[in-house]
Amino acid sequence: MTRYRRDPAEEITASRARLATRLGTKDLRWVVSPYRICPLGAHIDHQGGPVLGMAITGHTLLAFRESGDGTCRFLSENYPGEVGFDINDSNFESWPEASPPWNSYAVGASVLIREKISGRARGVEVCSLGFLPGSGLSSSASVTLGYITALAAVNGVKLEDRERVVLAQRVENEWAEVACGILDPASIVGSRRDHLLSIDTEKLSWETLASADSTPGFRILVAYTGLPRNLAETGFNSRVQECGRAARDIARRAGLEGVARLGDLPADVLERELGGCEPVLEKRARHFHEERWRVHQGIDAWQLGDLERFGELMSDSCRSSRENFETGSPELVKLNEIMVGCEGVYGARFSGAGFGGSAIGLVAEGMAESAQAAIETKFIREYPGLAGKFRCYLVDSDDGLRLA
Nearest Cα residue to 127 out of 169, 83, 77: 77
Residue range of the domain that includes 132: 2-211
Asked whether residue 200 is assigned to any structural domain, the reply reads: yes
Question: What pLDDT, on the 0 to 100 scale, is given for residue 255?
Answer: 96
Question: What pLDDT, on the 0 to 100 scale, is given for residue 153?
Answer: 97
Question: What pLDDT, on the 0 to 100 scale, is given for residue 93?
Answer: 64
CATH at residue 22: 3.30.230.10
Question: What pLDDT, on the 0 to 100 scale, is given for residue 49?
Answer: 97
Q: Which pLDDT tens digit goes with each residue over 7-37? A: 556 777 778 888 888 998 888 999 999 999 9
Asked whether residue 233 is assigned to any structural domain, the reply reads: no
- Three-class DSSP labels, the chain: CEECCCCCHHHHHHHHHHHHHHHCCCCCEEEEEEEEEEEECCCCHHHCCCEEEEEEEEEEEEEEEECCCCEEEEEECCCCCEEEEECCCCCHHHCCCCCCCCHHHHHHHHHHHHCCCCCCCCCEEEEEEECCCCCCCCHHHHHHHHHHHHHHHHCCCCCCHHHHHHHHHHHHHHHCCCCCCCHHHHHHHHCCCCEEEEEECCCCEEEEEECCCCCCCEEEEEEECCCCCCHHHCCHHHHHHHHHHHHHHHHHHHCCCCCCCHHHCCHHHHHHHHHHCCHHHHHHHHHHHHHHHHHHHHHHHHHHCCHHHHHHHHHHHHHHHHHCCCCCCHHHHHHHHHHHHCCCEEEEEECCCCCCCEEEEEEEHHHHHHHHHHHHHHHHHHCHHHCCCCEEEEECECCCCEEC
Residues recognised as catalytic: 184
CB 190 within 8 A of CB 198: no
CB 400 within 8 A of CB 33: no
Asked whether residue 336 is assigned to any structural domain, the reply reads: no
Asked whether residue 325 is assigned to any structural domain, the reply reads: no
Counting the structural domains of the chain, the total is: 1
Asked whether residue 362 is assigned to any structural domain, the reply reads: no
Question: What pLDDT, on the 0 to 100 scale, is given for residue 293?
Answer: 97
Asked whether residue 36 is assigned to any structural domain, the reply reads: yes
Residue 402 is which amino acid? R
Question: What pLDDT, on the 0 to 100 scale, is given for residue 138?
Answer: 87
Asked whether residue 278 is assigned to any structural domain, the reply reads: no
Q: List per-residue pLDDT tens for the chain, 404 residues long.
A: 444 444 556 777 778 888 888 998 888 999 999 999 999 999 999 999 999 999 999 999 999 999 989 999 999 998 888 899 999 987 766 666 656 778 899 999 999 999 999 999 999 999 999 887 656 888 999 999 999 999 999 999 999 999 999 999 999 999 988 889 999 999 999 999 999 999 999 999 999 999 999 999 999 999 999 887 555 556 888 999 999 999 999 999 999 999 999 999 999 999 999 999 999 999 999 999 999 999 999 999 999 999 999 999 999 999 999 999 999 889 999 999 999 999 999 999 999 766 668 999 999 999 999 999 999 999 999 999 999 999 999 999 999 999 98
- Residue 339's Cβ-side half-sphere holds a number of Cα atoms within 13 Å equal to 34
Ramachandran class of 62: left when φ > 0, alpha when ψ lies in -120 to 50, beta otherwise = beta
Rounded to two decimals, the pTM is 0.93
Distance (Å, whole) CA 37 – CA 138: 8
Asked whether residue 287 is assigned to any structural domain, the reply reads: no
DSSP β-bridge partners for residue 196: 209
- Residue 93's Cβ-side half-sphere holds a number of Cα atoms within 13 Å equal to 0
Distance (Å, whole) CA 322 – CA 345: 20
Question: What pLDDT, on the 0 to 100 scale, is given for residue 52?
Answer: 98
Distance (Å, whole) CA 74 – CA 54: 27
